[in-house]
């Protein structure tokens, strides 16, 4: 230690050790604060999108004008590369009653789709996610003919802060459909005036559905099962089941098509699901319905509803 001090004195001359310490402190702790400011972040360069097409390289892309899809390909924006950040920038994306407005393909893992209030309309599916780890948020999927949002065997996706609707009496079937999907989160959304289901879980497990307002859909607000016509007992024993899903914190009301209409319904074999903190009211058939007649198959609790066909809980 004494050698180090002498060397510093020799090096700094008359300033001495006190001067050396002062210089070191000034270097490590600048006047603006006690922590040195980090270097500026590198400039992020965006690629402008002004027409429909395929994204084949990772990076940041921004839609800078309204887009209209052609018939080949019917998809407007296909994401086939991993690690793509896509900003729809509030633009309108219009289809030709085919394909998907934004399609994160299986190879497009970790896609991040920021809608910024964009409207995606007149496709078969508004937003389709096939890959792993996608995020999509802040958009409106309107007047699409199949589903507003389709998770096709997707894994670990999050879709949030969006709306799905039919505005002109069109042929839209489902608001959100999870087909063979697992470990996804659908949150903070609305689905209204669809001809079939607000949300349909078809052979999909370990998903979370929350923060929803689902109204005026044809057959059911939320349906877990394999039948295109709702819980009518037509699902075969070998059909894919939806299990271990959590559906909570939402409203499902005024769903009806003639005499059919359910708020939340689980079909035979779709078990081990949890339904909680749901308000279901004024649905044509039942507000909550469970076709599994053995207690303990699904958990229903903290519900507000009018009519119900749910098995009583098991006694202790």
Helix (H, G, I), strand (E, B) or coil at 306: coil
pTM: 0.84
Angstrom distance (rounded) from CA 201 to CA 215? 17
Q: What is the mean pLDDT of residues 285-290?
A: 92
**Residue 15 above 50 pLDDT?**
no
**Residue 165 above 70 pLDDT?**
yes
Average pLDDT, the chain: 86
pLDDT tens across 72-115, in order?
A: 778 999 999 999 999 999 999 999 889 999 999 999 999 999 99
Q: Confidence class of residue 171 from pLDDT cuts 50, 70 and 90?
A: confident
pLDDT greater at residue 118 or residue 45 = 118
Angstrom distance (rounded) from CA 163 to CA 127? 12
**Cβ pair 242, 204 in contact under 8 A:** yes
pLDDT tens across 116-143, in order?
A: 999 999 999 999 999 999 999 999 999 9
- Distance from the Cα of residue 291 to its chain's centroid: 28
**Cβ pair 288, 275 in contact under 8 A:** yes
CA-to-CA separations, 242 to 62, 94, 143, 272, in angstroms, rounded? 36, 32, 27, 9
Angstrom distance (rounded) from CA 303 to CA 251? 10
What is the pLDDT, as a whole number, of residue 14? Answer: 46
Within 8 A by CB and 6+ apart from 13, the residues are none
Work out whether the CA dihedral 117, 122, 123, 125 comes out positive or negative: positive
Angstrom distance (rounded) from CA 207 to CA 225? 14
Domain locations along the chain: 1-36, 48-309
What is the pLDDT, as a whole number, of residue 3? Answer: 28
Within 8 A by CB and 6+ apart from 227, the residues are 234, 235, 267
pLDDT tens across 220-261, in order?
A: 999 999 999 998 777 878 889 999 999 999 999 988 865 568
Per-residue DSSP letter, 11: H
- 48-309 CATH: 2.160.20.10
């Amino acid at each position: 230690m004494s050698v180090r001090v002498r060397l510093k004195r020799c090096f700094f001359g008359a300033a001495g050790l006190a001067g050396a310490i002062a210089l070191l402190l000034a270097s490590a702790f600048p006047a603006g604060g006690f922590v040195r400011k980090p270097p500026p972040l590198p400039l992020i360069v965006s690629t402008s999108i002004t027409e429909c097409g395929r994204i084949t390289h990772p990076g940041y892309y921004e839609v800078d004008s309204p887009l209209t899809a052609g018939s080949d390909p019917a998809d407007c924006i296909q994401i086939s590369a991993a690690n793509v950040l896509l900003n729809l920038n509030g633009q309108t994306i219009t289809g030709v009653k085919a394909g998907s407005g934004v399609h994160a393909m299986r190879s497009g893992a970790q896609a991040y789709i920021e809608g910024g209030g964009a409207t995606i309309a007149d496709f078969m599916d508004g937003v389709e996610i096939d890959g792993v780890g996608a995020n999509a948020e802040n958009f409106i999927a309107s007047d699409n003919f199949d589903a507003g949002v389709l998770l096709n065997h997707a894994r670990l996706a999050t879709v949030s802060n969006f709306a799905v609707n039919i505005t002109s009496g069109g042929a839209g079937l489902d608001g959100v459909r999870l087909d063979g999907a697992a470990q996804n989160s659908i949150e903070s959304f609305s689905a209204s005036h669809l001809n079939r289901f607000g949300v349909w879980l078809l052979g999909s497990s370990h998903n979370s559905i929350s923060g929803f307002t689902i109204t005026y859909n044809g057959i059911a607000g939320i349906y877990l099962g394999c039948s295109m016509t709702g819980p009518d007992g037509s699902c075969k024993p070998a059909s894919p089941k939806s299990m271990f899903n959590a559906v909570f914190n939402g409203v499902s009301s005024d769903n009806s098509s003639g005499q059919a209409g359910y708020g939340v319904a689980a079909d035979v074999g779709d078990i081990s699901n949890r339904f909680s903190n749901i308000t279901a009211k004024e649905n044509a058939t039942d507000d909550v319905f469970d076709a599994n007649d053995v207690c303990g198959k699904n958990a229903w609790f903290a519900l507000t509803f009018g009519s119900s066909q749910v098995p009583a809980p098991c006694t202790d």
